[in-house]
Structure 1
């Protein structure tokens, strides 16, 4: 039975080494970024968000080493930059944590935190969250998962931040590289009570819930066949590899990306070396 308090993918977290340089890089790719946020002291992190509907991307950087961000720092030391974790939307994080506890997984949290937000009219408010994580060791394909309850959605989904020159609208798929895609997909399916489905090319899809993005587990070889002509340098054989975004206008996408974009079949793709360790594929939708 699917989790009642946890629905599909909320956002993808891309860990970066230099937060401000990464933000400028994504601006050059045609994304509109939120003002830089600084999380509560125990988190020790800062971020920029790239807002879509109903989901978003988060560029996350460690500002001060804390116990809470030790796994994120270990990721950077081990793999550099890229997709480090994926968040689900939590209706109620406290109840959601108890749901996974009842299934035999000891949750990390719930944890409350916030960051100040400068609104378009210049006033300062706050974005407030309550999150919980599945145990750190439960990371299918090397990507940690957690759930995020938004207590102040109006300070996160700001209309002015949801319009992008590259016409990005939402996340369609999160692609995770794995030597054994079926085993990693089965692992995630156990954690979130979803049913995996094998594809013709050997990749395995796990729906995240509702109308949200899917997880797709595949080998680097399979990823290369999906996006022929796109250099995969910088990707690990096991870990978060790519985000597939729906574009409202591929011509606008191609123009905004400029030389960073590579045509590959029906998609326009930014290689991981040009997007902080994350392949970004734009598709029509």
Structure 2
């Protein structure tokens, strides 16, 4: 039975080495990027968000090394930039943590934190969250998963930040490469109580819940066949590889210019141009 307090994908976290440079890059790709957020001294990190409806992307960088961000630093050292973790939306993080505990996954948290937010009128407010993680050793396809309860949605989903020159509307898929897609998909399926779905090209999807984006596991070779003509340079053999984004494809083509590659009926940004993340813009 599916988890009651954990619904579909909330946001995908792209770990980057230079936070401000990454934000500038995503602005060049036609995204509206939030003002920079700074997390607590304990967390030692900062972020920029790229807001859609009902989900979003997060660019995350380490500002000061701390014990809390040691896994993120290790990821950057071994993998480089890319999708390091994915969040689900938590209805109630405390109850969600107990749900996964009952299924044999001792949770990390729940943890409350907040970051200051500059609102469109120039005032300073706060975005407040309560999160919990599945055990950090459980990494299906090489990604960590956690759940995020938004206590102040109005300071995160700000209408002015949800309009993008590249026509991006929402996430459709989180793409994960793996030498053993079926094995990694089954791992995630067990962790989240969601059934797998086999796709025609041998990829294996795990729906995240509701109408939210799917996780899709496939080999690098299968990914290359899905997006012919797109260089996969910089992607690992196993790990977060890309995001499929529902968008106005004509707007994406215009905004991306020569960076975008026509492939599979959409416009694709190669990983090398997306901070280690393939970005496929497809018809909304």
Which TM-score bucket, shorter chain as reference? over 0.9
Matched, 1:252 2:241: no
Aligned equivalents of 1:217, 1:47: Cα separation in 2: 27
* Superposition deviation, residue 40 in structure 1: 1.4
Query: 1:121-165: per-residue Cα shift (whole Å, max 9, x none)?
Result: 010000000000000111100000000000000000000000000
Within 5 A, what are the aligned runs for 1:176-255?
176-247=176-247, 249-255=248-254
In structure 2, the partner of 1:98 is 98
- Shift of the alpha carbon at 1:41? 1.4
Gaps of 5+ in 2: none
- Aligned partner of residue 174 in structure 2, secondary structure: strand
1:173 alignment partner, SS class? strand
**TM-score, L = length of structure 2:** 0.99
What is the count of residue pairs matched by the alignment?
Answer: 284
Tell me the secondary structure at the aligned position of residue 269 of structure 1. Answer: strand
Query: C-alpha distance in 2, partners of 1:200/1:167?
Result: 28
RMSD, matched Cα = 0.5
Distance 2:193 2:281 in 1: 29
Q: Deviations over 1:168-202 (max 9, x none)?
A: 00000000000000000000000000000111111
Q: Which moved more, 1:62-71 or 1:268-277?
A: 62-71
**Alignment correspondent of 2:116:** 116
1:190-235 deviation line (CA, Å, top 9, x unaligned): 0000000111111000000000000000000000000000000000
The equivalent of 1:284 in structure 2 is 283
**What residue is the counterpart of 1:125 in the other structure?**
125
Shift in Å, 1:265: 2.5
After superposition, residues 16-35 of structure 1 pair within 5 angstroms as 16-35=16-35
| Structure 1 alignment gaps of length 5 or more | none
Q: C-alpha distance in 2, partners of 1:43/1:98?
A: 24
Deviation of 1:29 after TM superposition, in Å, equals 0.2
1:270 paired residue number: 269
For residues 132-211 of structure 1, the aligned pairs below 5 Å read 132-211=132-211
Runs of 4 or more above 4 Å deviation: none
